[in-house]
Structure 1
């Protein structure tokens, strides 16, 4: 099935960004709004305590599961917001590297934010996403 998502790049903007600057979906696309994907295992325990990359990987795994339940894949994601509980750029970059690699060439528009705290004990990373499907 063809993707509903069209990534948009601009030659007038810096080409150093590791993501598209915008994305669109046609009017007939069904949008899927995912809750923030957290680094929790099947029992609800936080995985990768103290490890930004491991927590980002668990968030991606959980996001893939939620997408599948909605009939979607990671290539149907139209945008993300990556929240990292740190004021250190290196910690944000560690989480971002995992996210970037998971999306590969489907480099959706993304926002990477450092925040003071997230909702679960020992949680360092959370990823919000919106996807679009053609039915």
Structure 2
């Protein structure tokens, strides 16, 4: 069982995600660096393809979670950054990330930004997770 509990409220508009998460006392917090759409050689994948880059971000995020001793159910929040001012691009990235989480509809922030760090990078996914140890 995860140390993360999703919080919902009937007093807020229905949304396809939890509005908050609560982490059990004593859980270890894990802060992942932003997962980027990078191939194993460090090159940017899916140049010009927001959804393709989001898929690679999710793949890299999963690898980082496992390396930290966590999984998707341990994620307490995400931030999805998209280098675009076009709502359709933000939605394209969000749909990929949201699908990856399935039933664990973690609270998220979706943001359009002016630029991201790697050449040709359009998407980045930040994650905070929490796990019980011992």
Settle same-fold status: TM greater than 0.5: yes
| Post-superposition offset of 1:3 | 0.6
Matches of 1:48 and 1:14 in 2, distance apart?
A: 35
- Report the counterpart of residue 5 of structure 1 in structure 2: 4
Please list every run of 5 or more consecutive structure 2 residues that lacks an aligned counterpart in the other structure.
none
| Post-superposition offset of 1:85 | 0.3
| Post-superposition offset of 1:26 | 1.0
Query: Of 77, 80, 91, which aligns to 2:78?
Result: 80
Query: Of 76, 96, 99, which aligns to 2:97?
Result: 99
| Post-superposition offset of 1:48 | 0.5
Root-mean-square deviation over aligned CA pairs: 0.5
Matches of 2:52 and 2:16 in 1, distance apart?
A: 20
Query: Of 40, 44, 47, which aligns to 1:49?
Result: 47
- Report the counterpart of residue 132 of structure 1 in structure 2: 130
2:93 partner SS: helix
- Report the counterpart of residue 13 of structure 2 in structure 1: 14
Instruction: Work out whether 1:109 is the aligned partner of 2:102.
Output: no
Please list every run of 5 or more consecutive structure 1 residues that lacks an aligned counterpart in the other structure.
none
User: TM-score normalized by structure 1?
Assistant: 0.97
User: TM-score normalized by structure 2?
Assistant: 0.98
| Post-superposition offset of 1:73 | 0.5
| Post-superposition offset of 1:75 | 1.1
